[in-house]
């Protein structure tokens, strides 16, 4: 069967790589793809910001299945439009994707359904910000309501800073329309956890848990990014905690969405803070996470295509995924200046040498290819990912591969999974 993957990042490279392993996949397209994806799929031009462009492409290619990678096409309603035309597509509808596309919708939904989350206030004006701030202790988390590519969250150390950031968001100067409404949140302490399930609108099948590293600098310093690395191990949570998260968060979310007339099919990603009070929901994504997908899929031993089709057909079950007991880690190599302004077009050296490191798979995020050479084309350039019998070896392999890769301005965190290794 023919499969079309929409998107151009490291997540989409990982999805293409894993879907190719299905014996039923005979052809795979990626729109628009990137320099690394082009080695594993036919990259085709498409504007993921245009519903008409995506519809025209699918009409031309006639794929048997379309897999939506990034959040923007979901917000535009690509799943609704494809479904209306009778095309099979994996992902949630525009209404269901509000769990990600609107922070205020997500917070109010959690409140309505008594699902644990941080204390919050939704503000549409500087006056509402001023009135809400006395109800918070510092630090205060300020979030843009809309999509901001992982950069719409600021942890303010003082109420003055929170007020300034919130007002910059509301004015449109900081994030455009994404900040037209803001959410103030209580700051939660603990370890972050990424927990994903695939749902068919009623049932859920869990993926293995992972931990992301959002801040740009070592020791969780500097501004938030789309993610600088991630890891997953068999022991990141135990079976009892996994079952608690399914019973008290994931299944209630799916049931609540169905009750509200927005049945959720596809991947539901829950960003959690494991606090002294128990797990609390930080955010939702309505698609595979990036970079968590890279190490997660390195551990997946069953057919991803089968699980996606089960979701579409309403037959998701606990047995949809089979996992390796290995660990995996991903280190993101980024362009100089990221997550701020950066220059593209830097030649990347050492990719072939890095790929020779045992257990390593290099996923391209922001690359282009010309004259057989790879060049940088985005803020996050590569997801250098490795699998091994234990986390320490997986991390070591990933960094060994990173050391063999070079491009002007390259930077990456040197402490991916460090806290987990320290606990061990």
Residue 172: per-residue pLDDT: 85
Residue 403 has pLDDT above 80, yes or no: yes
Average pLDDT of span 350-376: 97
Number of domains in the chain: 4
Give tens-digit pLDDT for 12-65.
999 999 999 999 999 999 999 999 999 999 999 999 999 999 999 999 999 999
What's the chain's average pLDDT? 96
Quick one: average pLDDT of 317-341?
95
Q: Is the pLDDT of residue 150 over 70?
A: no
Instruction: Specify if 111 maps to a domain.
Output: no
Quick check: 148 pLDDT over 90? Answer: no
**Share above pLDDT 70 across residues of the chain, in percent, rounded to a whole number:** 99
Q: Is residue 77 domain-resident?
A: yes
What share of the chain has pLDDT > 90, as a percent?
Answer: 92
Verify that 80 and 144 share a domain, yes or no. no
pTM greater than the 0.85 cutoff: yes
Question: Is 30 inside any structural domain?
Answer: yes
| Mean pLDDT of the 151-162 span | 91
Here the tokens at position 418 are 């460090």
CATH for 227: 3.30.470.20
Q: Does the residue 179 lie in any domain? A: yes
Strand 229-232's sheet: what is its strand order?
Answer: 211-212, 229-232, 327-334, 380-388, 360-364
Cα(194)–Cα(185) distance, integer angstroms: 19
Q: For residue 147, what pLDDT band results from cuts at 50, 70 and 90?
A: confident
Any domain includes 17: yes
> Per-residue pLDDT tens for 120-144?
999 999 999 999 999 999 999 999 9
pLDDT at 424: 64
Whether residue 98 is contained in a domain is answered as no
Q: Which of 170-174, 221-225, 303-307 has the highest mean pLDDT?
A: 303-307
Tell me the three state secondary structure of residue 191: strand
Supply the pLDDT for residue 173: 78
The CATH number assigned to the domain holding 401 equals: 3.90.600.10
Residues 71 and 14 occupy one common structural domain = yes
Cα separation of 92 and 301, whole Å?
25
Q: For residues 184-194, give the mean pLDDT.
A: 95
4 vs 147, higher pLDDT:
4
Among residues 299, 320, 341, the one where a domain terminates is: 320
Provide the CATH number for the domain around residue 180. Answer: 3.30.1490.20
Inform me whether the pLDDT recorded for 261 exceeds 90.
yes
Digit-coded pLDDT (tens) for 164-180:
999 999 988 788 888 78
Q: Which long-range contacts (CB under 8 A, 24 or more apart) does 22-26 make?
A: 22/303, 22/304, 22/305, 22/306, 23/303, 24/303, 24/305, 25/1, 25/305, 26/1, 26/2
| Long-range contacts of residues 402-406, Cβ cutoff 8 Å, at least 24 apart | 402/331, 402/333, 402/354, 404/350, 404/353, 404/354, 404/357, 405/333, 405/348, 405/349, 405/350, 405/351, 405/354, 405/362, 406/348, 406/349, 406/350
Q: Domain of 413?
A: 327-423
Under the banding of pLDDT at 50, 70 and 90, the label for residue 186 is: very high
CB burial of residue 358 (10 Å; 0-12, 13-18, 19+): exposed
Residues 304, 210 share a domain: yes
Residues 201 and 314 in one domain: yes
């Amino acid at each position: 069967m023919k499969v079309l993957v929409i998107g151009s990042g490291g997540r989409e490279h990982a999805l293409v790589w894993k879907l190719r392993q299905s014996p039923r996949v005979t052809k795979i397209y990626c729109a628009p793809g990137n320099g690394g994806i082009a080695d594993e799929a036919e990259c085709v031009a498409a504007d993921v910001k245009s519903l008409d462009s995506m519809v025209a492409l699918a009409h031309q290619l006639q794929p048997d299945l379309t897999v939506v990678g990034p959040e923007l096409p979901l917000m535009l309603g690509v799943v609704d439009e494809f479904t209306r035309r009778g095309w099979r597509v994996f992902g949630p509808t525009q209404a269901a994707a509000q769990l990600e596309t609107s922070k205020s919708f997500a917070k109010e939904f959690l409140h309505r359904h008594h699902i644990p989350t941080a204390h919050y206030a939704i503000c549409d004006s500087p006056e509402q910000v001023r009135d809400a701030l006395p109800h918070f202790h510092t630090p205060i988390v300020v979030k843009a309501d809309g999509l901001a590519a992982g950069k719409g969250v600021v942890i303010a150390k003082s109420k003055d800073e929170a007020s300034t950031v919130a007002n910059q968001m509301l004015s449109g100067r900081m994030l455009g329309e994404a900040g037209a409404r803001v959410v103030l949140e209580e700051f939660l302490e603990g370890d972050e956890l990424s927990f994903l399930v695939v749902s068919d609108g009623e049932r859920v099948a869990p993926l293995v848990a992972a931990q992301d590293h959002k801040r740009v600098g070592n020791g969780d310093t500097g501004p938030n990014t789309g993610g600088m690395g991630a890891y997953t191990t068999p022991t990141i949570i135990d079976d009892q905690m996994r079952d608690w998260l399914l019973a008290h968060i994931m299944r209630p979310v799916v049931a609540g969405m169905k009750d509200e007339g927005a049945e959720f099919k596809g991947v539901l990603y829950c960003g959690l803070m494991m606090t002294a009070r128990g797990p609390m929901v930080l955010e939702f994504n309505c698609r595979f996470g990036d970079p968590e997908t890279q190490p997660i899929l390195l551990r997946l031993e069953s057919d991803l295509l089968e699980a996606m089709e089960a979701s579409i057909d309403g037959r998701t079950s606990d047995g949809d995924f089979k996992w390796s007991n290995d660990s995996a880690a991903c280190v993101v190599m980024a362009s100089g200046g990221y997550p701020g302004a950066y220059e593209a077009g830097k030649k990347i050296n050492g990719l072939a040498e890095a790929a020779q490191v045992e257990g390593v798979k290099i996923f391209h995020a922001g690359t282009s290819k010309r004259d057989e050479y790879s060049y940088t084309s985005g803020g996050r350039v590569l997801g250098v990912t490795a699998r091994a019998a234990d986390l320490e070896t997986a991390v070591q392999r990933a960094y060994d591969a990173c050391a063999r890769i070079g491009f002007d301005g390259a930077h990456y965190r040197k402490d991916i999974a460090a806290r987990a290794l320290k606990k061990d």
